[in-house]
Structure 1
Amino acid sequence: MKKPLLLTAALFFNVGIYAQSLNNPGSNHGNKFEQLGTILSDPNYYRSASGAPGPAYWQQRADYEINAELDEKNLRLNGSETITYYNNSPDPLSYLWVQLDENQNKATSDNKLTQTSKIKEKMTLDDFSDIIGRDDDLGVKIIKITDEKGTPLPYVINNTMLRIDLPVVLKPKEKYKLKITWNYNISDRKIVHGRGGYEYFPQDDNYLFTITQWFPRMAVYSDFQGWQNKQFEGRGEFALVFGNYKVNMTVPADHIVGATGECQNYPQVLSATSLRRWNEAQTAKAPLEIINLSEAKSAITKKATGKKTWTYVAENVRDFAWVSSRRLVWDAMATYIDGKKTMAMSYYGPEAYPIYSRYSTKVVAHTLKSYSKHTIPYPYPVAISVEASNAMEYPMICFNHGRAEKDGSYTESLKYGVISVIIHEVGHNFFPMIVNSDERQWTWMDEGLNTFCQFMAEQEWDNNYPSQRGPAHKIVDYMKMPKDQLEPIMTNSENIVNFGPNAYAKPATALNILRETIMGRELFDYSFKEYAKRWAFKHPTPADLFRTMEDASAVDLDWFWRGWFFSTDPVDISLNEVRYYRMNSMKQAVENAESKKAYEKDNKYLGRERNKAEGIKFAIEQDTSLLDFYNKFDRFEVSKTADEQFQNYYNSLGTEEKKIYESKKNFYELEFSNLGGLVMPLIIEWTFKDGSKETDRIPAYVWRKNENKITKVFAKDKEVVSVQLDPNRETADIDESNNSWPRKSQSTRFELFKEQQMPATNPMQQSKNRIN
């Protein structure tokens, strides 16, 4: 990693080609342990070779003042904004690129046209709608774009990207102010499957609005790629610019609004009772309901007329999102991170109340504490969880799922699913809302790092937490898939087939292995925190992470990044053979006895035993003249001078040789094959004759001279009865059947098929029935 060459960002869309480039083609070594070299971009004044921001590092800034009005009757959002754009780059800019993410919902958008489809035996309405399209009139309608004086600016819309042509070049260190007025029809999130939109509740004729990716947002202009104006296809999320926000949201008068940042006018928009509870929540040590369930249900049935405007401000954030509805319970409590207060809050409907009132806000607080311990202290004043039957993240606010049954019960899987999704989405405040990676290119830098931190937070919540992503053995089913169904982690978001395993689970597993097995917690935790500190509120690339982890730990990890992030090789290390050796004692009595056992074993076979049992008269018995010296010779007889011979041998040994001789070690030669291709450490558990166990941990560098097959000899004080490779399933080995000596049978179970269906109740309901 010390000699990287210049490489453009375009490399990362074709990393498979480079990842397979070999330094020593045709050889069994000199490939997997070579430095990444040309795979990484060249360090420069903007990004140093250590992985830290360089002395000339820069990034753009965009401040927003937004006025928005939610038209509930017509399901439309009307908005206007003033953007102040700061050119902190060394480059003059003649145009600006703005994201129009809502355009992905247009019937003519690229992401709609490029989706493959097929006729199934049973087709749903959604299936047909995806094929023939929907007449929803979706997408952003730009009303006008002007400079701050009101002079119209020319612009071009290309699908989800808007280019604004500037009347004069925006020079370095200058700023430019522009105004955009727009509107769009809000989509039905349950049908369009978008991150934001509305959900309609027919039982009470009400809506829940989650307003996300809702305003024209500045695209990123950076030192490593220029404008990030890759089209939004729906999967690769958002590369965004930090700035300050002031947002005025006009909504129906009985709606409750939660948003990024802090509300500036609670006294004007809350009832006296709710305002009092809000003030009490500032010191509450448990969630306190500002809007309770009874009040939320009352608002559902008594729709108010009129409108209210909620004003929020947020500093140094990369985005802004909000929720608005009359059918929300709202609770809050204070939590402290390094002495700084943050309000942990939740908004949720009646159907989520049984589980969200118990867990949501407490999980928010737990997440902030756990992530802060492993990265940087949470810097924002608010962290919000909203139940919206989906999962998506924004600064200080996120949307999650999890609704109970009508009787208030829920399954255990739902409970843990709710806790996990809240941890995950709140955790996104750190990655990518603070450590601001480019999700459009590298999903794993956002989702993978966050899923890894989620795993640590889950395990800190409950030592028996059933985490599904992070433990090494849980990624095995994905890594053993055929190569044509896999792609490296370092693959662009839109090109990934198995998105969840690739961008979430595999990088999270890799980092967990790095922490627990490769580096150890102390070195890993220090280096990971250093990465978070270096790149908080900045735009890191994969190279910045890779370099920082090595720079702060003095651990060469290029082989690890190469194997786990740039290839599709799985881990499959086979323990082929175990050979037992013992030092010759040079004592005839001992050695001859051992030799006799071996001789008799080698010369014992079934036909001989049967011949003897049948009473066959052998030739030498019928004709004794055939007998000679060797028929009576005992080749294992101990000579009369045996003791004297041994003493002479022993006396000839030097002091160190005598120590080795007297140690009476047992020697075991183990042969390993790397069948999967991904080099990993050898973790060997020995079980001795007396029942005790011992574990040896051999670094992955043991493979550097032969990446395919190696042998290694171990000296043990006690006799070994079995050997187990990777006993705690730390390495994600895809075939455990070849990890033991002697080989172990792989057990599983089957059951008699029953045609009748089991009753569809959960354990909580069954418990209530038993009580009743």
Structure 2
Amino acid sequence: MKKISLLLFFPALLFAQENTTAVTPKQQGKYDTNKFSQMYDLLATPNMFRTASGAPGPAYYQQQADYKMDIELDDKNSKIMGSQTVTYSNNSPENLEYLWVQLDQNMRAKNSQSPLAENEKVSQKLTVGGFADKYLVEGPDRGFHIEYVKDAQGNPMSHTINQTMMRINLATPLKSGAKITFSIKWWYNINNYQKEGGRSGYELFEKEGNKLYVIAQFYPRMAVYNDVEGWQHMQFWGGGEFALPFGNFDVNFTAPADHVVDATGELTNRSEMFTAAQNKRYEKALKSFDEPVVIVTQEEAEAAEKGFSDQKKTWKFSAKYVRDFGIASSRKFIYDAMAVQLKDKVVMAESLYPKEANPLWGETSTKVVAHTLKSYSAHTFDYPYPKAVSVSAEDQGMEYPMICWNYGRPDENGVTSDRIKHGMTSVIIHEVGHTFFPMIVNSDERQWTWMDEGLNSFLEYLAEQELDPNYPSSRGPAKNIVPYMSGDQNFLEPIMSNSETIIQFGNNAYGKPAAGLNILRDVVMGHELFDHAFKTYANRWKFKHPTPEDFFRTMEDASAVDLDWFWRGWFYSTDYVDIGIKDVKQYYVSENPTAELKNVKIRKGRFGVEEGPFVYLIDGDHKEFQSSNKKGLEVAQMQPLVSYINENFSTDEKATIKKPKYFYEVEFNKPGGMIMPILVELTYEDGSKEEFKYPAQIWRKNNSSAKKVYATEKAIKKIQIDPKLLTADIDVTNNVWPKVVTKSKFD
């Protein structure tokens, strides 16, 4: 067979061959650095567990842990003891060789690694008590004391404790689809959280010696096992909070007989725990939708706190499909409640507080709880649990299913400053709101703080503004995050950073995500598209374990808005927004071309060239544009244009034709790295204003420069970018034309 040269069929090869040595590249090739690049390099690959749409896939699974507990509070010794039976269901497709259990109280144990991992410096001014606690007194005995771990037959189970995690070694692997039951007995000494810190513990009222307990992380809790990373058993260092599976709880809590107790779940022996009068008041509260009904009065609480009963009572709670359990107990508690009507059900809003919290709490707390349930339900899904409880615990702000602790009390004279009242209101909204995120939409707080704190701070802002349009919200408005965004880059990290590595925790995990979501809602997507997508995410992932990718993908999937540029910039980088006006040129209509314009060709179709007549827009600073005709011509004076209109437009169309007299070309630049829509406000000479919004895609072919042309009937007096401060622009000095010059006092 005759050999035929490839050059006959591919002559380009000859060209390439001939030029291989002659062509020298002028510069190196470049990688794709366009900020609109899709996020395949950052997001996990979709699979049968988690789909590309952001929804749970057909193979999605999650484990379940059910608890039966007997807990006792030793008030005199500030000690809590418990025995629990856990039934763990392995719904994963894998067999499990061992189980991991969280022992969060071990963060405060004497051998805890947490203090060793923190940097220290000498505090040169301390209270006497503070100095003694720090340097003279041996630390208290804290952390779990595990008395036993036994299987269902009562046999000891091998287990290994590694700081805040305990591995239970199984004799035989727990097969896929199987269950295992085991029991743990434990106790620990409760911390005074005001002295030692912590998300739970007790508050001591020194005058009378009473304690107010808010008890959480109090039992060995099953760790999460999922399709993303297997066991989530990162140590609890104190910053990253918790990842927990759902389950059913039956809890018997024994406390001094004069204590009032509330907890996660429904109280199943209410009639035994309260007096006949108190039960009657509760029945009234079930039908009171406008005002709280006081169930345990201040007089009753004051009488109880004068004695220290040696008797005991056991409160019985049952909670269905919750991820955690919290308890509040004290003889000081006043207790009120009211009913809340949601779309399809009635739930109870409740508050527990000592007399020191009145009149503020009696007037405010339960009503704020009710408002929060209504607001969050409207933006996500109807609150599914039977109640939501707000507990007054000074210096606290922490959440658990159906119950939370919140700070804020009046002074000794009962006077409350606006700062305290607003602070307390915000904390109650925030902590009650956490029942939605992450107690129901169950994200991994140990890994991603922003997925619960950031989303919740955003919804908190909406609830605050719905409560009062003039409410002084601290987080949410875009302008409030500017000081952080414009800060020293050495102390900033992307939102997508592990919880334990964040330097400015509040700004990074709360403030920046909340501001970003408001920007998406107000500027990028609009309320209708955003609200639908956000509600879709909440409903897809309620009672499940979402990841960041699930949120990002769902927001795009349900809105048809490409947001990769936003996630990439706002969540994965420390880029900031800074859009400015670089240049403004005014042009004038003329029938006479400049020398340069004479030779400009205008294409007609793919191959033709327009022959005219032409209209010329000439830069007012052009050397050939004489001052004598600086104003240029009006459209009505241009006979070729008038003739074109008469020949091509109907009478009705002519009536709507614009008659611009002024032509401006505005060049916007972007000193900041973060892409953002351009919001422009024009102010005309007569004082009237007009707003324009250009989508972020205006930057897609040039990430640093964009131009727009304005043809107006009135002269423009002022051009301003983002006049309402909706985009978190860190430098507004370049947002205005003509540039505002600030005179010094010496001018």
Q: What TM-score bracket applies, with the shorter chain setting the length? A: 0.7 to 0.9
Classify 1:40/1:128 alpha carbon distance in 2 versus 1 (closer, same or farther; 3 Å): farther
Question: TM-score, normalising length from structure 1?
Answer: 0.85
Higher RCO (CA 8 Å, separation ≥ 6 residues): 1
| Offset at residue 38 of structure 1 (A) | 2.0
- The answer to whether the Cα contact below 8 Å between 1:28 and 1:706 also exists between their aligned partners in 2 is no
| Offset at residue 650 of structure 1 (A) | 6.6
Partner Cα distance (2:432, 2:742) in 1: 40
| Offset at residue 343 of structure 1 (A) | 0.9
The letter of the residue matching 1:354 is P
Classify 1:747/1:161 alpha carbon distance in 2 versus 1 (closer, same or farther; 3 Å): farther
- The answer to whether the Cα contact below 8 Å between 2:588 and 2:620 also exists between their aligned partners in 1 is no
Matches within 5 A, 1:156-171: 156-171=160-175
- The answer to whether the Cα contact below 8 Å between 2:585 and 2:619 also exists between their aligned partners in 1 is no
The letter of the residue matching 1:311 is K
| Offset at residue 546 of structure 1 (A) | 0.4
Name 1:70's counterpart in structure 2: 73
Name 1:332's counterpart in structure 2: 337
Partner Cα distance (1:600, 1:163) in 2: 84
- The answer to whether the Cα contact below 8 Å between 1:28 and 1:707 also exists between their aligned partners in 2 is no
The letter of the residue matching 1:169 is P
Do structure 1's residue 189 and structure 2's residue 190 form an aligned pair? Answer: no
Do structure 1's residue 687 and structure 2's residue 683 form an aligned pair? Answer: yes
The letter of the residue matching 2:300 is E
Name 1:275's counterpart in structure 2: 279
Partner Cα distance (2:561, 2:450) in 1: 22
Partner Cα distance (1:650, 1:513) in 2: 45
Partner Cα distance (2:570, 2:80) in 1: 44
Partner Cα distance (1:449, 1:192) in 2: 29
The letter of the residue matching 1:259 is A
| Offset at residue 566 of structure 1 (A) | 0.3
| Offset at residue 576 of structure 1 (A) | 1.5
Matches within 5 A, 1:615-764: 655=647, 663-745=659-741
Unaligned stretches of 5+ residues in structure 2? 1-26, 594-614, 631-636
The letter of the residue matching 1:377 is D
Do structure 1's residue 433 and structure 2's residue 436 form an aligned pair? Answer: no
CA-to-partner distance for each residue in 1:489-541, whole Å, 9 max, x for gaps? Answer: 00000000000000000000000110111000000000000000100000000
Name 2:597's counterpart in structure 1: none
Matches within 5 A, 1:32-111: 32-111=35-114
Matches within 5 A, 1:434-513: 434-513=440-519
CA-to-partner distance for each residue in 1:238-267, whole Å, 9 max, x for gaps? Answer: 000100000000000000001001101111
| Offset at residue 270 of structure 1 (A) | 1.1
Residue 115 (structure 1) aligned to one of 115, 118, 138:
118
CA-to-partner distance for each residue in 1:189-238, whole Å, 9 max, x for gaps? Answer: 11111001111101111001111000000000001110000000111000
Classify 1:539/1:599 alpha carbon distance in 2 versus 1 (closer, same or farther; 3 Å): closer
Residue 256 (structure 1) aligned to one of 255, 260, 270:
260
Partner Cα distance (1:736, 1:133) in 2: 53
Partner Cα distance (2:743, 2:48) in 1: 58
| Offset at residue 656 of structure 1 (A) | 6.2
Aligned partner of residue 301 in structure 1, secondary structure: coil
Do structure 1's residue 155 and structure 2's residue 195 form an aligned pair? Answer: no
- The answer to whether the Cα contact below 8 Å between 1:247 and 1:312 also exists between their aligned partners in 2 is yes
Partner Cα distance (2:341, 2:152) in 1: 41
Partner Cα distance (1:743, 1:36) in 2: 38
Range 176-185 or range 348-357, more displaced: 348-357
Matches within 5 A, 1:588-599: none
The letter of the residue matching 1:733 is D
Range 575-584 or range 543-552, more displaced: 575-584
Partner Cα distance (1:721, 1:235) in 2: 52
Do structure 1's residue 555 and structure 2's residue 551 form an aligned pair? Answer: no
| Offset at residue 653 of structure 1 (A) | 8.8
Aligned partner of residue 414 in structure 2, secondary structure: coil
| Offset at residue 646 of structure 1 (A) | 7.1
Name 2:14's counterpart in structure 1: none
| Offset at residue 733 of structure 1 (A) | 0.2
Residue 144 (structure 1) aligned to one of 148, 155, 165:
148
Partner Cα distance (2:517, 2:399) in 1: 22
Partner Cα distance (2:53, 2:715) in 1: 48
The letter of the residue matching 2:728 is A
Q: CA RMSD in A?
A: 2.8
| Offset at residue 163 of structure 1 (A) | 0.3
Partner Cα distance (1:528, 1:513) in 2: 14
Do structure 1's residue 532 and structure 2's residue 528 form an aligned pair? Answer: no
Classify 1:86/1:721 alpha carbon distance in 2 versus 1 (closer, same or farther; 3 Å): same
| Amino-acid identity (%) | 50
- The answer to whether the Cα contact below 8 Å between 1:260 and 1:314 also exists between their aligned partners in 2 is yes
Partner Cα distance (1:656, 1:532) in 2: 54
| Offset at residue 652 of structure 1 (A) | 8.4
Name 1:13's counterpart in structure 2: none
Unaligned stretches of 5+ residues in structure 1? 1-23, 604-634, 638-644, 750-772
| Number of residue pairs the alignment of both structures matches | 684
Partner Cα distance (1:596, 1:748) in 2: 32
Partner Cα distance (1:218, 1:718) in 2: 69
Partner Cα distance (1:297, 1:747) in 2: 64
Range 336-345 or range 733-742, more displaced: 336-345
Aligned partner of residue 359 in structure 2, secondary structure: helix
Aligned partner of residue 505 in structure 1, secondary structure: helix
Partner Cα distance (1:302, 1:531) in 2: 51
- The answer to whether the Cα contact below 8 Å between 1:287 and 1:361 also exists between their aligned partners in 2 is yes
Aligned partner of residue 181 in structure 2, secondary structure: strand
Partner Cα distance (1:136, 1:305) in 2: 26
| Offset at residue 582 of structure 1 (A) | 2.1
Name 1:641's counterpart in structure 2: none
- The answer to whether the Cα contact below 8 Å between 1:435 and 1:539 also exists between their aligned partners in 2 is yes
| Offset at residue 121 of structure 1 (A) | 2.7
Name 1:6's counterpart in structure 2: none
Aligned partner of residue 667 in structure 1, secondary structure: strand
Aligned partner of residue 103 in structure 1, secondary structure: helix
Aligned partner of residue 663 in structure 1, secondary structure: coil
Range 180-189 or range 665-674, more displaced: 665-674
Partner Cα distance (2:701, 2:679) in 1: 19
| Offset at residue 577 of structure 1 (A) | 1.6
Q: Which has the higher helix share?
A: 1
- The answer to whether the Cα contact below 8 Å between 2:588 and 2:619 also exists between their aligned partners in 1 is no
Aligned partner of residue 454 in structure 2, secondary structure: helix
CA-to-partner distance for each residue in 1:298-357, whole Å, 9 max, x for gaps? Answer: 111133221100000000000000000000110001112113111110001111111110
CA-to-partner distance for each residue in 1:405-451, whole Å, 9 max, x for gaps? Answer: 11111101111111100000000000000000000000000100000
Question: TM-score, normalising length from structure 2?
Answer: 0.87
